[in-house]
Amino acid sequence: MFALHPQLQADTFPVTDLQLCRVLLMNDCNYPWVILVPRKDNIREIHQLDGAERQTLMDEMSNVAQKLEHAFSAKKMNVAALGNMVPQLHVHVVARFEEDPAWPTPIWGKVPAKPYDEQSKALMLERVRSLLVPEADMPLQEAAQ
């Protein structure tokens, strides 16, 4: 039975479930920052997923990155599976900008998280959900290349 790690639960808001992953919005309005968590038990590393799950993870993280890049006109997408502190496998997908507070260094530990207020949280959740939900089961579009 899949259960989200308490730290991820505390730091994020749920966006939607894709075929493999739960999509979470990180409660840090410094960056458009989502986290993908495969809904599998006791997985710490990408290579612990089976081959089909790894391919689905690749599709989902690529699709989410492409959608966020386009919607927010990001300068660069950062995609990372770290997990040194929270052992449940989770993949960060973060839209980066030259004017963001950590640019050009990685975001982790750079500036304190800046929580969303209620209104901006609702707006951001709606925006990210609208990007991901209608096409959640469709393959990644190649057209944007």
Nearer residue to its own copies within complex by CB, 13 or 97: 97
Within 23-52, the residues that bind its own copies by CB under 8 A are: 44-48, 50-51
At 12 the three-state DSSP class reads strand
Distance CA(2)–CA(41), nearest Å, equals 6
Q: Give the one residue of 104, 112, 137, 138 binding its own copies; rule: CB under 8 A.
A: 104
Q: Is 65 in the site for its own copies (CB under 8 A)?
A: yes
Place of tokens 């739960």: 22
58: contact with its own copies by CB under 8 A: yes
Q: Which of 59, 21, 49 is nearest to 138 (CA)?
A: 59
Q: Which is nearer to its own copies, 41 or 118 (CB)?
A: 41
Question: Residue 63: helix, strand or coil by DSSP?
Answer: helix
For residue 4, the minimal CB distance to its own copies (Å) is: 19
Q: Tokens in use for 55? A: 């391919």
Asked whether 48 and 77 are in contact (CB, 8 A), the reply is no
Chain contacts with its own copies (rule: CB under 8 A): 44-48, 50-51, 54-55, 57-59, 61-63, 65-66, 69, 75-85, 87, 96, 103-106, 108-109, 139-140, 142, 144-145
